[in-house]
Amino acid sequence: MKKILIIDDNKLILKTLKATLSKAGYAIIEAEDGEAGLHLARSEHPDLVITDYQMPGIDGLEVLSEIHKLKINLPVILLTGFGDIVLTIKSIQLGAFDYLEKPFSPVQLLSTIQLALNSVKRSNSLSEVFRKDNFSESMLEDNLLVGKAPQMKEIFKNIGLISMNKVNVLIQGDTGTGKELIARLIHFSGITRDKPLVVVNCSALTETLLESELFGHVKGSFTDSIRDKKGKFELAGEGTIFLDEISEISLNTQVKLLRVIQELEFEKVGGEATIPMKARIIAATNRNLEKLIEQGKFREDLYYRLKVFTISLPPLRERKEDIRDLVIHFLYKLNKRFNRNVIKIGEDVIEMLQKHDWYGNVRELENTILQAIIMSKNDVLEKENITLNSRLHHTPNELQVPQFRSLSDLEKYHIKRILDEVKWNKLEASRVLDITRPTLNAKIEKYNLVQ
């Protein structure tokens, strides 16, 4: 028989609750204030606690946090006044299993208790994922790259080779497959380890800004340049420059980049002195560069200069055997980051995750786990806290959506999409976007949009 501790200073409520719960087959112990309640919680080992919030002396929230210190897996249901949102939030923050607003029905009460007891049962039936036989110690490092699938093993082998030789590397892979993580691994595992790693997101800047970002500029070379500025190539020194989303650079900038790679030197924007280029270039893209070459949007000669060595990251759905390890890795990493303790997961849940297609790849998996950790009420990652995006919600076009950081990123993407949709008929596009043609032209210029 499950034992329930009820703490309430209102005798009448105590009596009613006791009657309802005894009838439902629970053993009841009761206390009329927080202090007595905590005492019973320690000595009587109840399976669940129901506590009122407002009581003289120790209130329900204090009872809750004390009980949490005592035993994490003892669910507490808080009874609150109607509509007290601040209290509701606080109780959940402190780890209440749930709260019930007065007045509540016996059905509500019993179903909440049932859920809470089931969650304990579930937790007791599972073992911790971080037990020695489940993982290797190294899987717990934050920056670790998880991957046992044959394709990933091959990639790690190649990284071993290229990290000892400063060749340029092109990393291809769908969004969220781990391109940036691979770039960091190449940089930090070899001869460049003690040198700088400089990251440039090529899609975030206009042509002029990107050039000054890459090559630097001298004072007065354009309106905002009030002093000399070093470019990323110079800052990278003998280390690595990581050019993310390389497909997004304009044809003009491509020419300049090509020259840097060929001549191994460059000038600052508006400057004359040549600066030697000693960094290794790692470029990444989630687009098909060969297709862009066919369409005249990417220079073939630059492509070959960048892809001295190519790493193609397979989408997650093609290496489903890695999903289990990734989940454990993310549980560890995210628990630590968000100070949570979700350390159990059922085999059924892992299977469900393995069946999903993960069009957002590892990043989508990581976000899904994060959301489920935040939502979980005990130490188990539960199925009902996992939201999987169905493929039906994705059009191929949307799969290409970059992670938007700013409003202008979104505007750029939207305008490009509409332009593509109307086959670059600007009159039509300005009508759809409800802006004038000069405004449209200005935006095309600003965002460097090309057909």
Ligand X SMILES: Nc1ncnc2c1ncn2[C@@H]1O[C@H](COP(=O)(O)OP(=O)(O)OP(=O)(O)O)[C@@H](O)[C@H]1O
Report d(CA 148, CA 160) in Å as an integer: 16
88 class by beta-carbon count within 10 Å (0-12 exposed, 13-18 middle, 19+ buried): middle
Q: List binders of Mg ion among 184-203 (CB under 5 A).
A: none
Q: How far is the CB of 402 from Mg ion (least distance, A)?
A: 9
Q: How far is the CB of 176 from ligand X (least distance, A)?
A: 5
169-173 and 280-285 strand pairing: parallel
DSSP 344: E
Residues 232-271, mask of contacts with Mg ion (x by CB under 5 A):
----------------------------------------
Contacts of residue 334, defined as CB under 8 A and 6 or more positions apart, other chains included, come to 340, 366, 369, 370, 373
Residue 368's binding partner out of Mg ion, ligand X, none, with CB under 5 to 8 Å set by partner kind: none
* Closer to ligand X by Cβ: residue 146 or 210: 146
* Closer to ligand X by Cβ: residue 275 or 401: 401
> How many other C-beta atoms lie within 10 A of the C-beta of residue 71?
13
Query: Pick from 320, 323, 290: which is nearest to 307 by CA?
Result: 290
CA-CA-CA-CA torsion sign (207, 211, 213, 218): negative
**Radius of gyration of the CA atoms of the chain, in A:** 29
Residue 9 interacting with Mg ion (CB under 5 A): no
Query: Pick from 426, 170, 175: which is nearest to 298 by CA?
Result: 170
Residue 178's binding partner out of Mg ion, ligand X, none, with CB under 5 to 8 Å set by partner kind: ligand X
Residue 231's binding partner out of Mg ion, ligand X, none, with CB under 5 to 8 Å set by partner kind: none
* Closer to Mg ion by Cβ: residue 66 or 180: 180
Residues that bind ligand X in the complex, under the rule CB under 6 A: 145-147, 173, 175-181, 286, 326, 329, 362-363, 366, 403
Residue 112's binding partner out of Mg ion, ligand X, none, with CB under 5 to 8 Å set by partner kind: none
Q: How far is the CB of 443 from ligand X (least distance, A)?
A: 24
**For residue 306, what are its two tokens?**
């960048």
Residue 173's binding partner out of ligand X, Mg ion, none, with CB under 5 to 8 Å set by partner kind: ligand X
DSSP 319: -
Residue 430's binding partner out of ligand X, Mg ion, none, with CB under 5 to 8 Å set by partner kind: none
**For residue 267, what are its two tokens?**
């000038």
Size of the site for Mg ion (CB under 5 A): 1
* Closer to ligand X by Cβ: residue 91 or 175: 175
**For residue 302, what are its two tokens?**
């630059």
Strand partners, 269: 217
* Closer to ligand X by Cβ: residue 156 or 222: 156
* Closer to ligand X by Cβ: residue 224 or 321: 321
Q: List binders of Mg ion among 68-87 (CB under 5 A).
A: none
Q: How far is the CB of 396 from Mg ion (least distance, A)?
A: 19
Residue 329's binding partner out of Mg ion, ligand X, none, with CB under 5 to 8 Å set by partner kind: ligand X
Reported as type and span, the H/E element at residue 98 is: strand 98-101
Question: Which residue has its beta carbon closest to ligand X?
Answer: 178
Q: List binders of Mg ion among 123-182 (CB under 5 A).
A: 180
CA-CA-CA-CA torsion sign (190, 192, 197, 198): negative
216-217 and 229-230 strand pairing: antiparallel
Side-chain-side CA neighbours of residue 188 (13 Å)? 10
* Closer to ligand X by Cβ: residue 266 or 330: 330
* Closer to ligand X by Cβ: residue 303 or 332: 332
Report d(CA 422, CA 442) in Å as an integer: 18
**For residue 230, what are its two tokens?**
């070093």
Residue 363's binding partner out of ligand X, Mg ion, none, with CB under 5 to 8 Å set by partner kind: ligand X
Q: How far is the CB of 339 from Mg ion (least distance, A)?
A: 27
* Closer to ligand X by Cβ: residue 177 or 212: 177
Question: Which residue has its beta carbon closest to Mg ion?
Answer: 180
CA distances (Å), origin 371, targets 99, 269, 301, 374, 381: 21, 45, 44, 5, 10
Q: How far is the CB of 366 from ligand X (least distance, A)?
A: 5
Residue 409 interacting with Mg ion (CB under 5 A): no
Q: How far is the CB of 178 from Mg ion (least distance, A)?
A: 8
> How many other C-beta atoms lie within 10 A of the C-beta of residue 100?
16
CA-CA-CA-CA torsion sign (282, 287, 290, 295): negative
Query: Pick from 95, 99, 119: which is nearest to 109 by CA?
Result: 99
* Closer to ligand X by Cβ: residue 77 or 283: 283
* Closer to Mg ion by Cβ: residue 179 or 443: 179
Q: How far is the CB of 91 from Mg ion (least distance, A)?
A: 39
Contact 266/215 with Cβ under 8 angstroms?
yes
Residue 258's binding partner out of ligand X, Mg ion, none, with CB under 5 to 8 Å set by partner kind: none
Residue 60's binding partner out of Mg ion, ligand X, none, with CB under 5 to 8 Å set by partner kind: none
Which residues contact Mg ion by CB under 5 A?
180
